[in-house]
Structure 1
């Protein structure tokens, strides 16, 4: 396993800094082991393990910046990558938004490591695939899925004296189950830090039930419906919305958080008062690295509080320009929910639609965060608290901002994979007046 200790990583970074003759130098080294297994048509199709470590160096002469990377760590190679970065910096034009490296910071460690995940072997991955495939074979269903796990480290240092080191591990699993005739489809996904908390045999049962139950889907007229979005279905829409919580785009009029006449909507009500979204690198279910890409220490902070915009992300350059304090970028997104499971939300719904998954989401209008996308892999009509029958998939046109103003109920939050990587904590959501614009023939 290619994981350097803190002492080994620091020794390399110290050498890099010593080799530099630039006004300032920053370096980051990271890597580890990533393993995967892919299965399709009830058989394992590919599997692999990748070990890698890479060093990146950035130097600056005034506001002229150069970067270079390498994966060899003898002294000659380290000096060579520094010189390459310096040569590039001397050729580069000045960057008017260049910000000097930050000085020494104090980082409170977060619990991002898992020995169990780091110890995963090819045989263990094959067992997870087997636990997904065999139940499907027994029921005449067809499974296809992917498991990817990683265990690694990251360390950085700069010539101002800032240094950080931490290890992290995680695993991500998805499985699609189809009926043999292809008319029914179910899906399940799981994102965990500790692989011991994951049970493929249990997870695949969810996809199997949905696949068997989604045959002979009936068509409903497009329109506005009450929907229950499972957390994975909500993740695609909420992830998109969070990309707009950037202060600069809001201040420059390029965001739904821009104010008419200039400025941003910090402090303004934008969604239902029950919506509370925040970031917390020490959250036990979705821990994140304790620093951001600039080497600033992360903090717990409200993003939306009781439906009002509480904070936006400021780059160091934009914070300086706007006279704001420098704060680290967010490492995770957590949305509070209630206590009910998805099944309990269904049981309390007179009429509505259950969405297992949203897919192929694209932005239509940045000023309203209007998105378009498709439902798939298990869409069901709800009547009198029960899944009455499967329905054909829809194309939707919906804004997560409008969606979060149409909340009827929130369930218990669970860990899901964010679209841009990393993890989120999101609840299932019962939403009224969700807009479907047309039918889709995909299952």
Structure 2
């Protein structure tokens, strides 16, 4: 079978979406403290390893349209096990494209528990969550399941519009992140320690740029026509641009100054919001949607301090909130030229009700299933590192590495002194490091 233009574009789009996960690693890595940057990036990279294999073995089978399904929630895991009966290039490409969505959805969750999660527990969590939460959600929305035109929900209310993953990706990841935070608990000094700040803002900006670049494949990869692809491209341009401006206005009014972190976060909020609606709203609708998402997420990220939950890198404030904004807004802004019309275009409240109910049902499903997966892991093997490991830093404690060298012998390149820091054994280089850190801490105390 020869490649058609559509298959070539799908091949490129799949590569763009896969590139988003390393981009997310940069984005999240810059947002953490320096002593946990590598661990944060590793949490994204390990998701590529575990979820890619899970998807090929049984995840794709669970999410693919199939008459053999469990109450319209997921399909038979063994119907395409190992992709043994996927012989057409189009089948394999579509499966690969879908796999990249599963990978980044899992990786997104990690930002909520930055600085304090056991790498081993996270590694175990990723394939189980992809199997029991992501694959069923993908089937319910895109695979002919519950929320589709053929499903009970779709026939009772209306088929849910989610072109690229408002419910499947962002609401899903945001809720999962919140549940993990509630199970694992807050970081030591949360809300009090001024060092809980991003350590590398340029890295954040680089990550946001890669995410925006890859998002054109994320949203437009499944475009059916050139016209639809053009609409999606423009919407994916203007929604995050408007969200960035909205976020910066909130910062300027609330805090007195716009920030680089706010600009990057606003871009991501707009990308999240336009994801489900990218093929169903006009460019003007995309701009309005972006502004609302940017303002809503900018306000939401501050709630964690008032409510007392330590969503380290604002997965809840950005992905859950903007995912909800984008999903529900379709009920207002969907244009009749793309199918179902929203309330503002004379379509009545039918689609709005369907979008809102689907969002609520998705929240409930993900919350329950994430708890069922994570709580036993936490109780059996522990999902959180020790207080000593958290103070020393997840990079040294879990990986025997540091992201940067600051001129102290062995601090970044030699594994032996790093191992000494973990075990408590004193060698000459380790003693030098400890003495240097003690002197620095003393100077900071005097200055304070």
Regarding TM over 0.5, the answer is no
Structure number with greater CO (CA < 8 Å, separation at least 6) is 2
TM-score of the aligned structures, taking structure 1 as reference length: 0.27
Query: Which has a greater percent of strand?
Result: 1
Instruction: Give the TM-score of the pair, scaled to structure 2.
Output: 0.26
Flag the structure with larger Rg.
Answer: 1
Higher helix share: 2
